[in-house]
A and B are shown apart, each in its own frame.
Chain A
């Protein structure tokens, strides 16, 4: 009896307690690298940062590709989507009560573009005129960068070309403001990892502020009373748990320790669907899984070989038997979303593939150099590699070798382009096809296939020059089709997000970018 009392058996679960307190408990995969919006670049960091900081506009809570006012109460452009004016709300405050002005945005843009800060993601501001030159050190004069602050509550941004979806870009945390007065209190503008983000020091402008942070244990945020829309924030706080082990995370959910999981391991999706159908959600995510071909290697110089390998990947079979997460077969490199027409060029056609391989001079795979497939050391990566190995052997008569490397070594090897085929993937940063296409330009840091094409790049240049959405999509579509015709990468599937969510959580709607604005959530006991 005493033991039972000690253990608290029969009492309310952590989720029940948290719901009554208005605290959302969510799994967040791992310990964040940091919470400075100008330094980090990961999904899990984004999850925390989104609760603490707010940009010029915010994600709509239920409609993909739309935005709601954030720090800016009104957004205008010059009719050509090249010069944008953001009217900042006078009531915007930092969590220490200091007013948030256009000067903070000016400081923030300069900070993230300062080379010594070492931001992974500063290229997200390259749309601004002069930003790339400043970041690359070609000038140290920030007045050459196209941002001005005519007064405390007006911010003007001049772009290098028309960009009709700039508000979509400004939802990204690289565009978030940081408090000049606090950052400079703890170091210089271009100094990374100073103490300004530590509990007790961090000052932010989002719906929540930092309450506590214990490494590898939790980050907890609480209501920010200085937030301009504080009275409409539906919950009192969020506890982010860095749960590395997805099996543990799922068990924690089943036993009432979590409102929301970061993911569900593939093996537990079927179990969850059977036993927790009201809690399991599977939603499209703007991300593509693909295989890079090293076109500098003899085996993959010929696009017919690349296409033959692509056309013998039975995507549906991989989804049904290996990944198990109801992903979607990737018929193009850009996932299906909004009114951008998804490509249908990538398909499973072994017969045509064999013909292409024979035309390339390798009938039944004879004469092909040895091929090695580089992938990570995860069990799921191995299973996928073995499935592909079997498909290529069955349909093309080609035996490939699998090379599994630990994560950092895999990245290093891939970036050095020391592979024939390499597993890869890309998560869209914003809701526009460009985020999946501009990485394949010559010398692009994430291209790493050796492939480039002048016509492809000319099309992307044309895209940068037009503010007409229809024309943009047409050019982007042409670029994507050309890319797929060349097939330097072999698309396999478009990701989905599989997660478990408590019925107590209200207002968590499917969003393809998965950038849920927390302020609209509500917690009410479903029982």
Chain B
């Protein structure tokens, strides 16, 4: 049986109700027990494929380029849950820092719940091998 104390990664989920076609800001303190952000994903159940991540910032630094198309980090149900993360960015060292995401859906028509999933780890080498396998 896996001991929780030895778990080397965690998926932190951040939810926000998207109630208009304006920019919505998601703010969340990252789990302080994990040292690196290595992946990001968005549930594509509700958001339109033209949605934009205006900013994704940790400690004031951009994790993804500004105005990044959300479609790049959205996956259908056909993709295995552990393969839904986008990891083509420099791993971000964190220590309970605040994550700020500014999200915009130009095709918004009805209120929905947006879920952003953040993959954190303590073991960089191990998880990178898994993500790109």
Do these two chains really belong together in a complex? Answer: no
Q: Measuring CB to CB, which residues of chain B are less than 8 angstroms from any residue of chain A?
A: none
Q: Measuring CB to CB, which residues of chain A are less than 8 angstroms from any residue of chain B?
A: none
